[in-house]
């Protein structure tokens, strides 16, 4: 065996370690940000629902939120928002390897709930955007979040098909794609605030959310994280240490931006309602 052949594995395993560590750091930060979002949802929407005071939903300044007399529309809004807490919290638990290893029964049930709620969220969201309430600020913004909904249903179906066929590695990848897509609305908020803080102002954004940045983030909020996930998968499969290091760097840069965005979303979007 040549010297280079002996030297090669440690180089790759170090790079593999870096890739895995940056993935874990990304995930831990995402969990903090997503649980904060869940807490906000429970306080701002769940609390008033339990107290029989749904008018208070409108304190968060949704596009429509609660409309007196519109029972069906209000029920759609309430179920969509409250299930958002269930899916966001449940999604984080699905990705924890220790839970999969030691509590596979929980993983299966939580997975079933996650997939069912993903479909309900996507369908109820698309209905709210294009149904009688027409809850959208711009058509392009509405198309952006609706495409997110369609992709959620496709990815969830793929994840289910692979797990039924016992193709666990394919299932894991499609489940991670579903996770990213389901968190599209969370990435939207975090990306929006990150952008404003980095640029020290709403560059390319207008109050009616029809500026170039607003129309771009309507799609980029989920396509960009999805693209980074694909790069992560490719780096995992690759034997090229350089590629793994590069992807780890990209992931850490994305994590730093995400940290700024989470801070901004907490300070300016969520904490005023807590």
Q: Which residues bind ligand HEM (CB under 6 A)?
A: 41, 60, 62-65, 77, 80-81, 84, 87-88, 118, 121-122, 125-126, 128-129, 135, 145-146, 148-149, 152, 182, 185
Q: Please say which residue, 18 or 151, places its beta carbon nearer to ligand HEM.
A: 151
Q: Please say which residue, 15 or 129, places its beta carbon nearer to ligand HEM.
A: 129
Q: Please say which residue, 84 or 217, places its beta carbon nearer to ligand HEM.
A: 84
- CB-closest chain residue to ligand HEM: 125
Provide the minimum distance between the beta carbon of 51 and ligand HEM in the complex, in angstroms, as a whole number: 18
Provide the minimum distance between the beta carbon of 37 and ligand HEM in the complex, in angstroms, as a whole number: 7
Whole-number Å distance between alpha carbons of 114 and 165: 19
Q: Please say which residue, 119 or 263, places its beta carbon nearer to ligand HEM.
A: 119
Give the number of other CB atoms < 10 A from CB of residue 219.
17
Provide the minimum distance between the beta carbon of 42 and ligand HEM in the complex, in angstroms, as a whole number: 11
Spatial contact of 173 and 158, defined as CB atoms under 8 Å apart:
no
Q: Please say which residue, 17 or 272, places its beta carbon nearer to ligand HEM.
A: 272
Q: Please say which residue, 158 or 231, places its beta carbon nearer to ligand HEM.
A: 158
Provide the minimum distance between the beta carbon of 164 and ligand HEM in the complex, in angstroms, as a whole number: 22
Provide the minimum distance between the beta carbon of 152 and ligand HEM in the complex, in angstroms, as a whole number: 6
Provide the minimum distance between the beta carbon of 5 and ligand HEM in the complex, in angstroms, as a whole number: 48
- Least Cα distance to 218 among 257, 192, 254, 182 occurs for 192
Q: Which two tokens stand for residue 175?
A: 């489940």
């Amino acid at each position: 065996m040549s010297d280079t052949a002996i030297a090669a594995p440690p180089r790759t395993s170090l790079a593999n370690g870096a890739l895995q560590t940056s993935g874990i750091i990304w995930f831990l930060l995402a969990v903090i940000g997503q649980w904060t979002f869940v807490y906000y949802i429970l306080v701002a929407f769940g609390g008033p629902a339990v107290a029989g005071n749904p008018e208070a939903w409108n304190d968060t300044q949704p596009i429509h939120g609660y409309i007196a007399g519109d029972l069906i529309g209000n029920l759609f809004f309430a179920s969509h928002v409250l299930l958002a807490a269930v899916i966001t919290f449940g999604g984080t638990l699905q990705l924890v390897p220790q839970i999969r290893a030691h509590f596979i029964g929980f993983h299966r049930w939580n997975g079933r709930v996650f997939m069912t709620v993903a479909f309900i969220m996507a369908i109820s969201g698309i209905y709210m955007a294009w149904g009688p309430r027409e809850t959208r600020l711009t058509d392009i913004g509405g198309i952006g979040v609706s495409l997110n909904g369609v992709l959620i249903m496709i990815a969830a179906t793929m994840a289910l098909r692979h797990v039924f066929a016992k193709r666990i590695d394919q299932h894991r990848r499609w489940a991670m794609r579903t996770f990213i897509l389901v968190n599209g609305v969370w990435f939207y908020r975090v990306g929006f605030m990150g952008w404003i803080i980095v640029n020290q102002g709403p560059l390319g954004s207008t109050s009616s959310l029809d500026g170039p940045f607003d129309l771009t983030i309507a799609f980029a909020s989920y396509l960009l994280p999805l693209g980074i996930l694909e790069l992560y998968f490719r780096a995992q499969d690759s034997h090229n240490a350089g590629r793994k290091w590069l992807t780890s760097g990209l992931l850490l840069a994305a994590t730093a931006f995400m940290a700024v965005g989470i801070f901004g979303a907490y300070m300016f979007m969520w904490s005023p309602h807590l």
